[in-house]
Amino acid sequence: MNSDHGYYVYMMQSPSRHALYIGVTSNLEQRVYEHKQHLREGFSATYNTIRLVYFKRFSDIRSAIDRETQLKHWRRNKKEWLIQQMNPNWRDLAEHWGEQFLPGPSKT
């Protein structure tokens, strides 16, 4: 296994702060970009969860999935507490991510 490879559990929040989405991915930057651009249908697109407010890296997928499952069963106030520990100002941790996924200038 490549030592640089990892898996991420992450939380996205809507601008209104009402909705929280919890997911797992092996490519956090790409997945956050997909959230921000609404490239996949479902909860995240419906509730506009475009702000990355929490993430944690894991070395194996089973641990990441177990943590995702655990977080999804937590009450809202406990999820908010966890976010507060990593991100006290609730800022978008990926505010400037995604430029590498945007189409470049035309070469014609």
- Architecture of the domain spanning 7-96: 3-Layer(aba) Sandwich (3.40)
User: Contact 64/8 with Cβ under 8 angstroms?
Assistant: yes
pLDDT tens-digit readout, 19-64: 999 999 999 999 999 999 999 899 999 999 999 999 999 999 999 9
Confidence of residue 2 (pLDDT cuts 50, 70, 90): very low
Confidence of residue 96 (pLDDT cuts 50, 70, 90): confident
pLDDT > 80? residue 102? no
What are the residue ranges spanned by the domains of the chain?
A: 7-96
Residues 6+ apart with CB under 8 A from 84: 90
